[in-house]
Amino acid sequence: MNKIKTFLIQNSIAPYRIPLFSLLANDPDIEFSVLRLTRTESHRKEWESIQNFPFPVRTVKGFSFSRNYEEHVRFNPGLGLILFKEKPNVIIIGGFSYASVISVMLKKKIDSKIILWFEGTCYTEHSVSKFRHSLRKYIIHRADAVITASELSEQYIRSQLSTSDNQAFFMAYNNIDNRYFDNSVQKFKANSRLFNDLKGKYGAKVILFTGQLIKRKGVFELLQGFEIIQRSNHHVSLLLVGNGPLENELKAYCKQHGLSRVFFEGFIRQEDLPNYYAIADMFVLLSHWDCNPLVIFEALASGLPIVASYRVGNVPEFVKDNYNGFVVDPFNTDQVADRIVKILNDPGLQRKFSKNSKRLSEKSNYEDSYRTFKKAIFHVLGYDS
């Protein structure tokens, strides 16, 4: 069998994708390449320094404009010419975009199979316009298979299908290097001097949030919940790791409401991030909507109890109520505060949740995701994997 020429189209290449793409590129049956639509995301400047990849990467020339801090529309006119010239056997398209529309329009002319790789949920897609919704349905109906990143992702795609559609579905969770992250956390904990110096900066109990300081991450609701907690728990600190356009507004809120135990640490380098998980007693994410954020997997690998919004992708699989944490309504700050306090005030519960988070982290790994992608590639071509 000849190698299967496979193009994967991505806006940019996030560092956490590199191990997965490397496994695909090293597969003896697959000739794998990434078509990158931009060198980096405007709000992810740290990615720009990573330009040497262990797999073929081609940057497709184009231009873009920004809707807001997070949303960017890209047009890459040269993409169609590349696909028409190269005629890959399989094209993996990342979500719904101009590039995805071009790919499905050309699939018959270049005799390629299309795999839609989708991470969104009904919560991330709640405000889609009628025109954009019609484009999504156009892409979904013409995909030969779908790889989703969570149960919520699959539910959304299935809700857009008609009874006559017969797409095959495959599940590939997002991944981090669980072993590396866990080892880094344990190594930092074992260094009592460094651990005590950092832990002592914040106090006895530490609630950790990592992510962008933007509205949809639920940071204001987190501060409101913490305000309730601080009234009766004076030795608890809230540690916010990350930056974003709301930072000054959030700091002003803390000052106005007397939240003296909230610490803004800004952007932390990836190699230093495990240190903050090491000193934390629990992790909280109250997103109004979120695809399948890596911070959930970092918290799992670190063995932290988790309080998370039901609107976060992967929560159904990786945050089990009263097993390794609690699932909450992000807008019910009384409930949020109650669940956080319940964990912080019960060492036995904290140990149980910690152990179970570690156990759940084993469900997500690069090798399983790679095998899922290969299975989907073989499926659309009618091969046995």
In this predicted structure, the answer to whether residue 50 has a pLDDT above a threshold of 70 is no
65 or 191, higher pLDDT:
191
CATH 3.40.50.300 for domain 178-361, yes or no, is: no
Beta-carbon contacts of residue 270 (< 8 Å; ≥ 6 apart) = 15
What type of residue sits at position 46? Answer: E
**Residue 358 pLDDT:** 96
Q: What is the pLDDT of residues 286-324, one digit of tens each?
A: 999 999 999 999 999 999 999 999 999 999 999 999 999
**Residue 42 pLDDT:** 53
Q: What is the pLDDT of residues 323-362, one digit of tens each?
A: 999 999 999 999 999 999 999 999 999 999 999 999 999 9
pLDDT band at 271 (very low <50, low <70, confident <90, very high): very high
Measured distance CA(330)–CA(221) in Å, rounded: 7
Burial call 6-18: b when 16+ CB within 10 Å, e when fewer: bbbbbbbbeeebe
pLDDT band at 51 (very low <50, low <70, confident <90, very high): low
Rounded percentage of the chain residues whose pLDDT exceeds 90: 78
In this predicted structure, the answer to whether residue 19 has a pLDDT above a threshold of 70 is yes
Parallel/antiparallel/unpaired status of strands 63-66 and 72-75:
antiparallel
pLDDT band at 217 (very low <50, low <70, confident <90, very high): very high
Q: What is the mean pLDDT of residues 88-92?
A: 98
Distance of CA 160 to the CA centre of its chain: 22
**Residue 364 pLDDT:** 95
Domains 4-175+365-380 and 178-361 share a fold: yes
In this predicted structure, the answer to whether residue 12 has a pLDDT above a threshold of 90 is no
Fold of 4-175+365-380: Rossmann fold (3.40.50)
Q: What is the mean pLDDT of residues 29-36?
A: 96
Domain ranges of the chain: 4-175+365-380, 178-361
In this predicted structure, the answer to whether residue 165 has a pLDDT above a threshold of 80 is no
Q: What is the mean pLDDT of residues 155-170?
A: 85
What type of residue sits at position 339? Answer: R
In three-state form (DSSP H/G/I as H, E/B as E, the rest C), the secondary structure along the chain is CCCEEEEEEECCCCHHHHHHHHHHHCCCCEEEEEEECCCCCCCCHHHHHCCCCCCCEEECCCEEEECCCCCEEEECCHHHHHHHHHCCCEEEEECCCHHHHHHHHHHHHHCCEEEEEECCCCCCCCCCCHHHHHHHHHHHHHCCEEEECCHHHHHHHHHCCCCCCCCEEEECCCCCCHHHHHHHHHHHHHCHHHHHHHHHCCCCEEEEEECCCCHHHCHHHHHHHHHHHHCCCCCEEEEEEECCCCHHHHHHHHHHCCCCCEEEEECCCCCCHHHHHHHCCEEEECCCCECCCHHHHHHHHCCCCEEEECCECCHHHHCCECCCEEEECCCCHHHHHHHHHHHHCCHHHHHHHHHHHHHHHCCCCHHHHHHHHHHHHHHHCCCCC
Q: What is the mean pLDDT of residues 189-210?
A: 94
pLDDT band at 35 (very low <50, low <70, confident <90, very high): very high
What is the average pLDDT value for the chain, to the nearest integer? Answer: 92
pLDDT band at 129 (very low <50, low <70, confident <90, very high): confident
